[in-house]
Structures are given as structure tokens and as C-alpha cells.
Structure 1
């Protein structure tokens, strides 16, 4: 029975090392020669980096092979693994469609091809044997031109059957010089009725209070409780949820120890701010969502009641979950209904 919701997972970082390495050796001679042995590749792919920018460079390795031809291959394995090994009932996949189009084409040609990418991802995510509800979040990018980012918003509006929200990615330290443009893009997205999230307050260099009013959820957001707890009452008033991805902060050098997240959770719970626990890049981390839960519990960062509250928040803040209740509630109701006659007969 699938029980969990994943609100923050990148398509580029979701491919587990073994599947990516096998693809190289079956289909890409250059990359296969670069990584002849699996163990050395896994070590390269999953080891911690010193900064967020260094960490994000790994996405380019995967983006280069996630083309219109290969995306169904990767997504089938992604959804199958999420359903079987992670018990995911709901999954939001985020990515920048422009970065899955051929680099040699003109900007206008690449913009036109983004529609095909979204349709391929949408159709490939619908597996009969793995009934996880999947939707897409399209990421604007801090290093893409304004025209491309606006086209991403227009595509999200056009493809609502596949797309549930928009995001901004590319390293939060790079927003400063383009803040006016980013605000304008979010204003436009909200005017078109789109749901919004955004990579914000992930690192100390990514603290932009000007962007907060435009977001329905906050991608990461851990620096709010860590460095700017005075903002928490306003975050609670807006009903915003933090998408906290524990392992990411170790891999990017943002935190040195997961115990540091205890302050994040404690201050959020005290202020009435919802937190969803996510993986961000499950493949890059070699860590699946249930292990994120287990790590936080084992380290006493949260308790079981807090974990349950976070799991409930994930479904409550899911942009495209089609049901009123989370799966655990539905299962509990079903089991009670089925056992009641037997209990009555035995009494």
C-alpha cells in the first residue's frame, strides 16, 4: 500500500546511480569510458560537495542524457522505484524543460520543443502497474533569459493536465541581480492562476524576503527558522509549507550535521508552520524518502508525532493530490469496515 507523498524531487537528480551507470554503458560510449567501474562512479556521483553551486553541476551530467528519446526509459524506472521501494502514493517531479532540448538549436526552437518534453514526461509517468499519482513542477532557472522563463510559465498554463506548479531553481545565490525580473515572473504566474513554490532560504546567500509573498510553498526554507525566525509568524499566516530535504544540506555543505535541523523543526512546530520532509535528489543522495524519515527519528531530530504531522502536511500541501484524505486514513477506514462484522460476530 503506497502511503507517502514526495513534494520536492528533481528529475535530474532522481535517477539512482546504478540505473544511470548502466545507461552509460549501454548507450553512451564516451560516458562509459569516463566511468568504467560502477563503484568509482557511485562514489563520484553521491559524494558530498563543498557548495550548492558545485553540487548543482552534477545535474548537467544527467540533463545531457535526458532527451525526448530517453526520458521514458528513466521515468519508468523512477516511478517504479518510487512506488515499490518508497511506498509513494503521490510524487511531484520538478525540472526545467528547456534544459532537455538540444543545445545546438536556436532559443525559439528550444522553447517550441519544451511542449513535447512536458507531454513525454506526463505520459511516461502514468504506469498501470505502479499507480502513483504523479504531476510536474516546471522550474524557471536563474541563469536562463527572461523570455525563456516566461515561456515556461505559459507552458505550465497550457499543460495543466500534466503541470501543477512552477518553481525557480539554479542556485539561490544567483537571484540577487535578477530579483525584479523574478518577482515580475511570479506575479505573472499568480495572475494566470498557477501554484507556486521556489528554491529560497536554502543557504545563507538565498534569503530574499521580497519573494516570499508570491510563494504558496517554500523550497527548502531552512534559513528562515535558523537565521530569520522573526519571519515564521508571517509564513504561518500565509499557510506556507517548508519543503525540507535533510540529506541535501549535508551534500551541499549547507549544514555539517543533521542534528542542526532540530532547531528548524522545533521552531516551525512552535510557530505553526507546516513542514514536508522530502528527498530533493534521491539518486544523487542514494537515499529514499523512508530513510529520510528514519534518519530524523534515529537522531531524535523529530519524534513519531512530528513525523506524522509532516506526512500529513505533505498531502495537505500537495498541489495535485486528488483526494480529501491521505492514503493512511483511507486504509484505516477500509480496515475498520472490513473487521467490524467479524468483531461483532465474535462478541
Structure 2
């Protein structure tokens, strides 16, 4: 059995439609009134959107029900599915902890509550019957104030038993007006020894070369090979890995056809830039990581040798894997012995 690493999965978008709908049935009568029949809900939840901003609005639907009390319910089912249906050995979950705190509280009270959220996610992610190495990436957010984002970075630095890095979310087109602020936050994170990734070069409006030096991995990054291939040599020198999430670009209207990703993979392989294939929002897409692999193969975007290289890159760039061999190598050694 091949085991995989998933480096880019959002907690808010990881809940598969059936589980979310059943939760609404039992605990959210106001929401279930909109979707009394499951097929209608699945169609609404998983359909493509016109823009990334429209797509991201769906996260608020899930964030509103992911609380201290309910997170163990959702995470147990997430881990179970990842182990049984996706063969994951390693999983990084990313989310904004502030958005899981009660919005009835003051900003300072919500900041204080974030540590509890991280602890709950960390404890709930460790399920003995489904052994997966898990860690969290805490997301600053383009629409949250500086004080909250800085507190998220401080929290990441103080909770390294559960947290392996930081990210910035909220749509890369919204960084421009606060670019210096976000660069300063990344500098601050690196000074604390916090590992970094970030949603960047996902859309044509999210191309900020000034941010690239502060990232160890690049969330999406597909516009680098598509529009700015001159940057690939620098990305390769910096040993930065692109976290490419194929289905996302069709769901957000960023690409018209999955075959457009062939340029992304070809140019990255030619330049020596690593790619980790990811799901991003497996629940919103109603897909799992092996489907992303199969889709790229059947559309002749990559071949099996390139797929293997991407799978190995995912373990190599995993923030909390610790430099260990990927599981397939360990099993091969046991068989040879």
C-alpha cells in the first residue's frame, strides 16, 4: 500500500458534504431548512464558483459551526477518512484559529481563546486507531487586523508541539494594500523559528515577488510558471516547493481547463522546482488526494515517474515529518531485510 503526504488542506474545507449535512440535520435547524434534501446541498456545496472570493465565502459556512465543542466531531471523521480512503501517513491541517472563537467576545478575548482551539485540534487529530502524523499550520488572514495576525504568529511559536508553520489566507488579491505589513509578519515569524508557507501566485491578482523570499513553501504558486517563468530559477535555488491543488483552479474559475496545468508541471520539472500535489479543500470539492493523482495522470499532465517525484517531494518538504524516509522506503527496507 502506498502512503501519501498532504501539505495543503484547509480545516474549513475538509468536511465532506455528507458529514456536514448530517451535522446540520442534528444541530442546525436554521441551516437545514435551506437544504432539506442532501442532493441539493451537495450540489450547492461542491459546485464551481466564478471567482476565488466567491469560493472562499463557503468557508464561513463551516467556520460558523467549528467551535471548541464541535471540532473533535469533525476532526475525528476527517482523520478516519484520510486514513481509510486516502492512505495518508502525514497531514497538515491549516486554518485561522481566531475564526473558530465566539464572535460575541471582544477581540482580546477571542485572541485569548485561540490557544484552546489549537489544543483541541491537536488532541483531536491524534486518533490511535487511525495513525497519521498530523500537524497544524495557523493562518493569518488578509481581512483580520494586524494585532490578531501577530497573535496568531506568537501562538504558532508557542505551540510547536501541535503547530508546524504559518500561512496567510483570505485571497491573495487582498494583500496589496497591506503588503509591507504582511512581509513584516513573515519576517517576525522567521525570527521566531516558525516555518512559513503562504497563498501566493494563485491568481493573476496575487503576484507579489516581494513576499517570495520569506516563504519556505508557496501555497499554489501556479502563476509563477504560467506568467512569470523567469522566477523559477530563483524558486529552485531557494528550494521552495509549490503546493499545487488541481481541482481548486477549476472550482474558483482561475483556470478553464485542467490541461492548463501541464505547462505548470512541465516548466517546474524543467527548472528543478518541486511540486507537492494537494487537495486544498477536499470537502468542498468532494474529492480525495488519490483522485487528484489519477486526474493528472488521465489528462496526460504528468506521467507516473513525475507523480512519484511529486509524492516524494511532499514528504521532503513536510514541515513536521522530520526528515525521515517516506513510508514506501521504510517498507522496502523491511522487505529487503
Flag whether TM exceeds 0.5 (same fold). yes
Q: Which string of whole-angstrom CA distances, capped at 9 and with x for unpartnered residues, describes residues 250-270 of structure 1?
A: 000000111000000000000
CA offset at residue 322 of structure 1? 3.4
**2 CA distance for matches of 1:190 and 1:113?**
24
CA offset at residue 335 of structure 1? 1.6
Q: Which string of whole-angstrom CA distances, capped at 9 and with x for unpartnered residues, describes residues 260-296 of structure 1?
A: 0000000000000000000000000001000000000
**2 CA distance for matches of 1:157 and 1:194?**
6
**2 CA distance for matches of 1:157 and 1:296?**
36
Q: Which string of whole-angstrom CA distances, capped at 9 and with x for unpartnered residues, describes residues 30-83 of structure 1?
A: 111111110000000000000000000000000000000000000000000000
**1 CA distance for matches of 2:284 and 2:223?**
23
Partner SS state of residue 243, structure 1: strand
- Please report the TM-score for the alignment, with normalisation by the length of structure 1: 0.96
Aligned to 2:203: 203
- Please say if residues 316 and 323 of structure 2, whose CA atoms lie closer than 8 Å, have aligned partners that are also in contact: no
Aligned to 2:27: 27
Aligned to 1:321: 321
Q: Following superposition of structure 1 onto structure 2, how do residues 50-129 of structure 1 map, counting pairs within 5 Å?
A: 50-129=50-129
Aligned to 2:15: 15
Moved beyond 6 Å, runs of 4+: none
CA offset at residue 336 of structure 1? 2.0
Aligned to 2:192: 192
- Please say if residues 2 and 83 of structure 1, whose CA atoms lie closer than 8 Å, have aligned partners that are also in contact: no
Aligned length: 337
Partner SS state of residue 210, structure 1: helix
**2 CA distance for matches of 1:142 and 1:198?**
11
- Please say if residues 97 and 138 of structure 1, whose CA atoms lie closer than 8 Å, have aligned partners that are also in contact: yes
**1 CA distance for matches of 2:72 and 2:87?**
21
- Please say if residues 2 and 87 of structure 1, whose CA atoms lie closer than 8 Å, have aligned partners that are also in contact: yes
CA offset at residue 28 of structure 1? 0.8
Aligned to 1:290: 290
Matched, 1:302 2:309: no
Q: Which string of whole-angstrom CA distances, capped at 9 and with x for unpartnered residues, describes residues 118-171 of structure 1?
A: 000000000000000000000000000000000000000110000000000000
**2 CA distance for matches of 1:257 and 1:172?**
21
CA offset at residue 323 of structure 1? 5.1
**2 CA distance for matches of 1:303 and 1:326?**
20
- Please say if residues 67 and 101 of structure 2, whose CA atoms lie closer than 8 Å, have aligned partners that are also in contact: yes
**1 CA distance for matches of 2:34 and 2:324?**
49
- Please report the TM-score for the alignment, with normalisation by the length of structure 2: 0.99
- Please say if residues 200 and 220 of structure 1, whose CA atoms lie closer than 8 Å, have aligned partners that are also in contact: yes
Partner SS state of residue 5, structure 1: strand
- Please say if residues 118 and 162 of structure 2, whose CA atoms lie closer than 8 Å, have aligned partners that are also in contact: yes
CA offset at residue 324 of structure 1? 1.8
**1 CA distance for matches of 2:54 and 2:268?**
29
Partner SS state of residue 33, structure 2: helix
CA offset at residue 2 of structure 1? 6.0
Aligned to 2:44: 44
Q: Following superposition of structure 1 onto structure 2, how do residues 174-323 of structure 1 map, counting pairs within 5 Å?
A: 174-322=174-322
- Please say if residues 2 and 89 of structure 1, whose CA atoms lie closer than 8 Å, have aligned partners that are also in contact: no
